Amino acid sequence: MKIKRKTISGPGVLVAAAFIGPGTVTVCTITGATYGFTLLWAMLLSIIATIILQEMAARIGLVTGKGLAGVIRETISNKTFKAFAIGLMLSAITLGNAAYEAGNLSGGVLGIEALGISGGFTVGNLTFNAWSISLGILAAIILFIGNYKVLEKILVTLVIIMSLAFLITAVMTKPDVIALLKGSFTPSFPEGSLLTIVALIGTTVVPYNLFLHASLVSEKWSGKEAIPAARRDTIVAVVLGGLVSMAIIVCAAAIQAGEVNNAGDLARSLEPLFGDYARSFIGLGLGAAGLTSAITAPLAAAYVVQGCMGWESNLKATRFRVIWISILVLGVFFSSVGYSPVEIIQFAQVANGVLLPVIAAYLIWIVNKRSVMGRYTNSLVQNVISVIIWGVVFMLGARTILKVFGIL
């Protein structure tokens, strides 16, 4: 099947590139290895929820001409609430993405090493991973160009590579189509699967993607007339991202025995069935997933700070670059020395757990304000679906907080 570039080009692809990171690959791998096809329906639910939320974020961005953080700053009049909202966004997205960036780069390195390539060097008492630094430099070069069209083309290419790698591997496993369809459309709750279901939804419905999407649509399009195009772009890209996640579950479900904790284990486990092809395809897919997330996480953080501070939207602005460079440098350092900043990650998880339902509620509120959205407000059906999704993201946020405090 020939892929038409225009159908998979736009801000939606960057959103898909952002949520299919090493974390998603790991969660989907463990899900497939543990529960087979039975939880594919949870991923399908995640795709629907993501489309609804991202479409609202994109619509707000096109109607207002501003990023989500900027809209929040301007529409909340109460100084206390405004300070709380800005503090929450800065801590959850900026600090959180700095902590998670190490995981993005480490995942990319894991993909490279799955291809049989490794490298490192020692400076004093510290041993650095050369590939982590190389990926960080590559991400920095791509971001420093400061041209949205170039950024889009690069990420579209990486997403296509990642998609083909995982989809081809899934087809190679020759899955039972009937069982696959049953798992996708028949909800079931195997014993002990509840937290895994929540994790699948949580790794797809990502708070920082809402900010990223609302900002990027203005880079791609101008004005309310682009809403239908943005909606199509969102649906196509998120569905593609969801299919990739489902393909990873299918790949992992093919494993008959053995402990599988990440994509590296997945490549080794499938190797007896498919030889070096499995390691090559999965390594390539994971490497692309790590690099795409390593690019989009610092970019999202920079957009959030820009909106919170009221700065002019400019990818080439010095202060915009200072933000994403800081995020990237921290990620490169933590990933290259193999250090995990546990306390920072835990704080970021709590902040994101609070932010997700707050931002989802804010999205529903703002897309129903005619003073802001004019005739582009939500319909009744959209509101009903949105409220149901808010209930899901509220549970996601509560689960994240409880897990950090050891209650779950």
Per-residue model confidence (pLDDT) at position 199: 83
Ramachandran class of 338: left when φ > 0, alpha when ψ lies in -120 to 50, beta otherwise = left
Specify the range with the lowest mean pLDDT, choosing from 14-23, 51-60, 173-182.
14-23
Q: Above 70 in pLDDT, residue 376?
A: yes
Write the pLDDT tens digit of every residue in 57-110.
999 999 998 888 888 888 888 889 889 888 888 888 888 888 788 888 888 888
Tens of pLDDT, residues 209-250: 999 999 999 888 888 889 999 999 999 999 999 999 999 899
| pLDDT for residue 55 | 94
Q: What band does 311 get if pLDDT is binned at 50, 70 and 90?
A: confident
- Residue 289 to residue 24: CA distance in whole angstroms: 9
pLDDT at 143 over 90: yes
The number of beta carbons lying within 10 Å of the beta carbon of residue 2 is: 4
> Once rounded to an integer, what is the mean pLDDT over residues 38-47?
94
Give the pLDDT of residue 192.
83
Least confident of 69-73, 109-113, 357-361: 109-113
Q: What is the pLDDT of residue 322?
A: 94
Interior/surface letters 139-164, b for 16+ CB within 10 angstroms, e for the rest: bbebbeeeeeeebbebbbebbbbbbb
Assess contact for 15 and 54: CB atoms under 8 A.
yes
> Under DSSP, is residue 45 helix (H, G, I), strand (E, B) or coil?
helix
Crossing angle (nearest 10°) for helices 79-89 and 68-75: 160
Angle between helices 40-64 and 68-75 (to 10 degrees): 60
Q: Which pLDDT score is estimated for 236? A: 92
Is the predicted pLDDT of residue 377 greater than 80, yes or no?
A: yes
